């Protein structure tokens, strides 16, 4: 799970009259939206628990272990006689990478390495404890975790071998992030967890694809292949979560639309939000700004993901009434909102100075 650099950097609460609003700071700009959310009906958890057969039919989105790639497939093999030549080739290509792309790559790897937190959260979302159970949700959780685990392993090894980053500063960041924990806001509504993962997996895929593209342009074919391969995994994971949430929309459209609107009002806070290197209290914000500036993950992308999910879940065409219809109308206006905001954010970022990163041995990006 790559943190695509949240475009929503700071949440605070303000009040206008008697109605609460979320005031969202986006690189110095503020937007307000209603933060109130509907009460969560107990039926939500029952709907998820009733999807066992549907989940079971989609376990094919996990790759068989014997057919799966492994990190070693993309790295120098130190058991071979020519390992020094392979390592030299990797390091030479990595010299061409801009420091900004290294920051984005490190931030992504740090978040991938906090996988234990996400696995525990996924257990909570589904209402099942995976353990060694053969129940479909449990099989998916373990399989998803196993596939995601390779991402952090591969990116960690690649970055270490380049010699271009401070691995201890990165390890401290991982330690802090794991210790701080992760909350996808599924405790009050399990639908939130599925909406979050649907959004996040697509954002992750977009981010890895963009890093791959930039790496290729800067002459690092190894990193290009690594990130494209990881993006392929994320695409399959995205398909699973969006299909499951699509089934939820079909079974409980009112509840699903209300939950989706609630998540959009709160905004999608990325899993790396609490990253800290022991020095920079605003590390995630600084990392996010670099990701936006590099074009790895932008406000445009955020809006396009909303538009995609609206289409994928047929939100606009569903016959709804009352509060659900109001939420439907709210959701259908969000993609345009972020499209309008994108240019303002780009202009703001161009005027911001480069930031010093401990990850880069105090170089700036």
Which residues have a Cβ under 8 Å from the Cβ of 202 and sit 6 or more positions away? 234, 238, 242, 305, 308, 309
Is 201 in the active site?
yes
Residue % of the chain over a pLDDT of 70: 87
Q: Which residues pair with 22 in a beta bridge?
A: 13, 33
**Rounded mean pLDDT, 291-310:** 93
Q: How far apart are CA 319 and CA 240, in angstroms?
A: 25
Q: How far apart are CA 67 and CA 232, in angstroms?
A: 14
The one catalytic residue in 113, 147, 148, 301 is 148
**Rounded mean pLDDT, 212-240:** 98
**Rounded mean pLDDT, 86-111:** 97
Q: Which residues pair with 30 in a beta bridge?
A: 25
Is 308 in the active site?
no
The one catalytic residue in 151, 192, 208, 286 is 151
Instruction: Tell me the range of 14-28, 87-101, 290-304 where mean pLDDT is highest.
Output: 87-101
Is 189 in the active site?
no
Lowest mean pLDDT among 68-82, 281-295, 345-359: 345-359
SS (H, E, C) the chain: CCCCCCCCCEEEEEEECCEEEEEEEECCEEEEEECCCCCCCCHHHHHHHCCHHHHHHCHHHCCCHHHCCCHHHHCCCCCCCCHHHHHHHHHHHHCCCCHHHHHHHHHHHHHHCCHHHHHHHHHHHHCCCCCCCCCHHHHHHHHHHHHHHHHHHHHHHHHHHHCCCCHHHHHHHHHHHHHHCCCCCCCCCHHHHHHHHHHHHHHHHHHHHHHHHHHHHCCCHHHHHHHHHHHHHHHHHHHHHHHHHHHHHHHCHHHHHHHHHHHHHHCCCCCCCCCCCCCCCCHHHHHHHHHHHHCCCCHHHHHHHHHHHHHHCCCCCCCCCHHHHHHHHHHCCHHHHHHHHHHHHHHHHHCCCCCECHHHCCCEC
Residue 12 has pLDDT above 50, yes or no: no
The one catalytic residue in 147, 153, 201, 280 is 201
**pLDDT (0 to 100) of residue 1:** 61
Is 237 in the active site?
yes
The one catalytic residue in 113, 147, 189, 233 is 233
Q: Phi and psi (nearest 5°) for 295?
A: 80, 20
**Rounded mean pLDDT, 328-336:** 92
Is 151 in the active site?
yes
**pLDDT (0 to 100) of residue 138:** 92
**Rounded mean pLDDT, 254-273:** 90
Is 285 in the active site?
no
The one catalytic residue in 162, 204, 242, 298 is 204
- HSE (CB half, 13 Å, CA atoms) of 350? 6
Lowest mean pLDDT among 49-63, 89-103, 111-125: 111-125
**pLDDT (0 to 100) of residue 40:** 57
The one catalytic residue in 113, 147, 234, 301 is 234
The one catalytic residue in 128, 208, 237, 286 is 237
**pLDDT (0 to 100) of residue 288:** 92
pLDDT tens-place string over residues 131-177: 889 999 999 999 999 999 999 999 999 999 999 999 999 999 999 99
Average of per-residue pLDDT values in the chain: 87
**pLDDT (0 to 100) of residue 20:** 31
Bigger pLDDT: 18 or 105? 105
Lowest mean pLDDT among 149-163, 180-194, 239-253, 263-277: 180-194
Is 98 in the active site?
no
Domains of the chain with bracketed CATH: 10-360 (1.10.620.20)
* Contact yes or no for 223/165 (Cβ under 8 A): no
The one catalytic residue in 69, 123, 166, 308 is 69
**Cβ burial 231-252 (10 Å sphere, 16+ → b, else e):** bebbbbbbbbbbbbbbbbbeeb
Residue 65 has pLDDT above 50, yes or no: yes
**Rounded mean pLDDT, 83-106:** 98
**pLDDT (0 to 100) of residue 363:** 97
Lowest mean pLDDT among 1-5, 26-30, 242-246, 340-344: 26-30
Is 233 in the active site?
yes
Lowest mean pLDDT among 103-112, 115-124, 226-235, 317-326: 115-124
The one catalytic residue in 40, 44, 111, 112 is 112
């Amino acid at each position: 799970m790559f943190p695509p650099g949240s475009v929503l950097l700071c949440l605070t609460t303000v009040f206008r009259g008697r109605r609460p609003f979320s005031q969202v700071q986006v690189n110095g700009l503020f937007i307000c939206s209603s933060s109130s959310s509907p009460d969560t009906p107990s039926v939500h958890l029952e709907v998820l628990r009733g999807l066992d057969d549907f989940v079971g039919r989609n376990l094919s989105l996990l790759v068989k272990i014997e057919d799966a790639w492994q990190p070693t497939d993309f790295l120098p093999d130190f058991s071979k006689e020519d390992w020094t030549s392979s390592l030299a080739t990797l390091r030479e290509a990595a010299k061409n990478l801009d420091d900004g792309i290294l920051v984005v790559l490190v931030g992504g790897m740090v978040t991938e390495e906090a996988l234990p937190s996400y696995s525990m959260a996924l257990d909570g979302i589904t209402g099942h404890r995976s353990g060694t159970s053969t129940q479909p949700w449990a099989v998916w959780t373990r399989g998803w975790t196993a596939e995601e685990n390779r991402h952090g392993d591969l990116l960690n090894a690649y970055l270490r071998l380049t010699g271009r980053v401070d691995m201890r500063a990165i390890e401290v960041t991982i330690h802090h992030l794991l210790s701080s924990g992760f909350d996808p806001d599924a405790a009050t509504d399990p639908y939130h967890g599925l909406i979050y993962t649907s959004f996040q997996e697509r954002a992750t895929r977009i981010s890895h694809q963009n890093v791959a593209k930039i790496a290729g342009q800067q002459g690092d074919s190894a990193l290009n292949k690594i990130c494209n391969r990881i993006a392929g995994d994320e695409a399959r994971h995205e398909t699973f979560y969006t299909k499951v949430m699509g089934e939820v929309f079909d079974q409980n459209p009112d509840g699903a639309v209300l939950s989706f609107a609630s998540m959009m009002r709160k905004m999608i806070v990325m899993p790396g939000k609490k990253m800290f290197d022991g020095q920079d209290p605003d590390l995630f914000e600084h990392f996010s700004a670099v990701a936006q500036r590099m074009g790895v993950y932008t406000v445009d992308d955020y809006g396009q993901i909303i538009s995609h999910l609206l289409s994928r879940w047929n939100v606009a065409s569903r016959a709804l009434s009352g509060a659900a219809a109001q939420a439907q109308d709210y959701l259908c206006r969000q993609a345009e909102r972020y499209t309008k905001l994108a240019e303002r954010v780009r202009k703001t970022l161009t005027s911001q100075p480069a930031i010093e990163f401990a990850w880069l041995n105090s170089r700036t990006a």
